[in-house]
Amino acid sequence: MEHFLSMKNISEHEILRLIKEADAIKENGVSPIHKQLFAGNLFFEPSTRTKMSFTIAQRKLGIDPLDFAGETSSLQKGESIYDTAKTFEAIGASMLVIRHNQENIANQIAAHVSIPVINAGDGKGEHPTQCLLDLLTIYQEFNKFTGLKIAIAGDIKHSRVARSNALALQTLGAEVYLTSPPDWQDNQLDYPYITIDEAVETCDIVMLLRIQHERHEGGVAYGKQHYLSAYGLTKAREQRMKRHAIILHPAPVNRGVEIADELVECSRSRIFKQMENGVYARMAVMKRLLTDRGIIDENHFNQREAVSSR
């Protein structure tokens, strides 16, 4: 694996390898890397969970994070994103983590640098590390994907999370359904649409999405109460879910909009577990990139795993 940019062309084997690696890291940990490495965290969009979990994941691996703030960088002097990335490469970064509102920007940078690039969210494109932590959470719950029914509910048209998850879940053998207000559907995604009421009654996982107000260009606006009652997860709908069914949400959560406030931390919710799993999923991706690219020897991690199993 040279970069981690998309879930489009990743095989079932590779996805499962990353999931199991993340699960093993959560269970056993890994020894910090005894070699000075730096990660350039280029976040051009606001972020709490993704940025902080990457930072913690890097520190747990022994990688020094290089923080970046666009408003105090040479971007303000006219420097391009490309030259910013090349600068981080030139001063010694061992990998780049890029989050930006422009689709495919991480792919474009990856084609012109010699170090691994991780897509931490690109506009309405994809969010592959969020997808991986979602998959890890599902795997820990069900220990399988084949035959599971998953509904992704909400602002499908503007959601990079929906795209990455739909692609990966289908690759893993799950049945993917979408549910959305009519004007936020995306016909480019070839999955069946169902109502939120059908979703709660038939699916094993209901994955809710935040309304992406920052990506809307006019169009229909919904009041909070109307959206929740028509398209969101209310308490009444939650009570009709299968006994074993769980609730996911990539966060940040708009309480009382896509999900009733009291359901965010209910017994079905795995929302904060997803956040916890984000650290381990991102550790697994960075570990795999470093070893596959020959920056770190695989034996370094195998030694720790051997010690942990004694």
Q: Is 304 labelled as part of a ligand binding site?
A: no
Tokens (6 digits) for 73 = 């960088």
Helices marked H in 48-80: 49-61
What counts of helices (H) and strands (E) characterise the chain?
11, 8
**Per-residue CA distances from 144 to 19, 20, 279, 296 (Å):** 11, 12, 21, 31
Would you give the DSSP letter of residue 113?
-
- Cα separation, 95 vs 7, in Å, equals 19
Question: Is-contact 65 55, C-beta < 8 A?
Answer: yes
251 is in an annotated binding site: yes
CA R_g for the chain: 20
Q: Is 49 annotated among the ligand-binding residues?
A: yes
Do residues 3 and 265 touch, judged by C-beta distance below 8 A?
no
99 is in an annotated binding site: yes
252 is in an annotated binding site: yes
| Residue 243 annotated in ligand binding | no
Distance of CA 13 to the CA centre of its chain: 19
Q: Answer yes or no: is 77 a known binding residue.
A: yes
Structural contact between residues 215 and 124, judged by C-beta atoms closer than 8 angstroms:
yes
Question: Tokens 């290089």 appear where?
Answer: 66
**Does 255 count as an annotated binding residue?**
no
242 is in an annotated binding site: no
| Residue 239 to residue 266: CA distance in whole angstroms | 11
Q: How far apart are CA 224 and CA 241, in angstroms?
A: 22
Closest listed residue to residue 129, CA positions, set 279, 291, 272, 11 = 279
The verdict on whether residue 84 carries a ligand-binding annotation is no
Binding residue positions for L-aspartate = 77, 160, 210
The binding site for carbamoyl phosphate consists of 49-50, 99, 127, 130, 251-252
Q: Where is the binding site, in residues?
A: 49-50, 77, 99, 127, 130, 160, 210, 251-252
